[in-house]
Amino acid sequence: MAQYKGAASEAGRAMQLRKKREREREQLEQLKQKIAEDNMVKSNIDKKFSAHYDAVEQELKSSTVGLVTLNDMKAKQEALVKEREKQLAKKEQSKELQLKLEKQKEKKRKEEQKRKIASLSFNPDEGEEEEEEEEEEEETEEEICIPGKKKKLGKNPDVDTSFLPDRDREEEENRLREELRQEWERKQEKIKSEEIEITFSYWDGSGHRKTVKMKKGNTIQQFLQRALEVLRKDFSELRSAGVEHLMYIKEDLIIPHHHSFYDFIVTKARGKSGPLFNFDVHDDIRLVNDATVEKDESHAGKVVLRSWYEKNKHIFPASRWEPYDPEKKWDKYTVTSAAVQFSPRPPLPQLLLFSLPTLCLPPPPPFHPFRFYSTDL
């Protein structure tokens, strides 16, 4: 620079550009070195693992010649692996230490270079500061000019957007559905745990009425098991019978064993001769009968042996029984079979005509208006 013949300001600018190029060159060299180191680590990582495994395997083979117990072999293998890990840790520490030393050397070199530059009569950093200030001014001008651009269209808050997909709203709806589902399940479990009194009749041609207490959630199979325990004391033919030999008939319908009382209560199921959701016995005791209002009568369910039903299914009342079908609807209740015919009752005047005798009484005397009648008795 002593041989430069130009002005001092031009010499400072040339020095500044040269320093800038050196910094860029150093940064480029550092970046290249870092990329090379990363590639070297990636390429050597498999070799390190394979060498580690091969060395351990080779040393293990050489130290376990002949018959060796399994525990001794495992102990030697663990000791070799630990020793190898220690060696690798030492190598990593030495590499880290070397990198730290290189960084310190680089830092010292930069400080030395700064001291040399500071010893000059002019400061080349002033040009850099001026350039940085100019760049900052340009950036601020650009930021100021940005608001002058055309504004983008946004959302109108007054428009109804309930029909659009909304993640938060969907999550809230799902949470509410889950809470309602759990609440409904709790209510149903409470209903199933309630006790009811079941009135039934063991039918062997005549009825033998009994009552048991069950829960609404119990199945017909569980009910028949309980009924069998009660009936075995009085009927010898049931002592060797099981639940699979019994049938439960309610309102002239053969109820499958897998159904529960809860199923009929919730659905308000109907049978041929009455409701399936009433398991007690009661008659219609209304004082005034109304043909437009359906009778509210419930009959005792029948517990029957399957063998008895097979022998007597052609005879009333077994001839009316049929399997329960949830899809079949019974609009009217009937208690008689289609084969049973009753003769109509004759009308009341005809009964009186044939039952009462004909009375022949003399006619009363005629009344005369001018005749005096005595009032003495």
For residue 137, is it within any domain?
no
**Pair 193, 319 in one domain:** yes
* Of residues 191, 310, 291, the one with CA closest to residue 245: 310
Q: Which of 96, 112, 129 is the last residue of a domain?
A: 129
Question: 274 lies in a domain?
Answer: yes
310 and 207 in one domain? yes
Q: For residue range 294-325, what is the model confidence (pLDDT) as tens digits?
A: 555 677 888 999 999 999 989 888 888 889 88
**99 in any annotated domain:** yes
Average pLDDT value over all residues in the chain: 75
- 79 and 201 co-located in one domain: no
**What digits encode the pLDDT tens for the residues 149-162?**
556 677 777 887 77
Please check whether residues 87 and 197 belong to one and the same domain. no
Question: Residue 125 falls within a domain, yes or no?
Answer: yes
Residue 31 lies in a domain: yes
In a domain, 151, yes or no: no
In 3D space, the residue among 221, 223, 234, 169 whose CA is nearest the CA of residue 198 turns out to be: 223
Number of structural domains (the chain) is 2
Please check whether residues 108 and 216 belong to one and the same domain: no
What local confidence, expressed as pLDDT, does residue 180 receive? 94
**Residue where one domain finishes, among candidates 79, 107, 129:** 129
**pLDDT score for 181:** 94
Q: What is the mean pLDDT of residues 106-132?
A: 66
Pair 120, 219 in one domain: no
User: 274 with 196, same domain?
Assistant: yes
pLDDT of residue 339: 43
CATH of residue 261's domain is 3.10.20.90
Statement: residue 173 has pLDDT above 80: yes
Both 195 and 124 in one domain: the answer is no
Same domain, 301 and 196: yes
Domain assignment present for residue 227? The answer is: yes
* 197 shares its domain with 85: no
Residues 71 and 194 in one domain: no
Q: How far apart are CA 226 and CA 220, in angstroms?
A: 10
Q: Which of 39-53, 247-261, 327-341 has the highest mean pLDDT?
A: 247-261
**Dist. CA 110–CA 163, nearest whole Å:** 65
Residue 217 and residue 112 share a domain? no
Considering the domain boundaries, does residue 214 fall inside one?
yes
Three-state helix/strand/coil letters over the chain: CCCCCCCHHHHHHHHHHHHHHHHHHHHHHHHHHHHHHHHHHHHHHHHHHHHHHHHHHHHHHHHCCCCCCHHHHHHHHHHHHHHHHHHHHHHHHHHHHHHHHHHHHHHHHHHHHHHHHHCCCCCCHHHHHHHHHHHHHHHHHHHHHHHHCCCCCCCCCCCCCCCCCCHHHHHHHHHHHHHHHHHHHHHHHHHHCCEEEEEEEEECCCEEEEEEEEECCCEHHHHHHHHHHHHCCCCHHHCCCCHHHEEEEECCEEECCCCEHHHHHHHCCECCCCECCCCCCECCCCCCCCCCCCCCCECCEEEEEHHHHHHHCCCCCHHHCEECCCCCCCCCCCCCCCCCCCCCCCCHHHHHHHHCCCCCCCCCCCCCCCCCCCCCC
Residue 375: pLDDT band by 50, 70, 90 thresholds? very low
Domain that residue 48 falls in: 8-129
The mean per-residue pLDDT over the stretch 39-48 comes to: 63
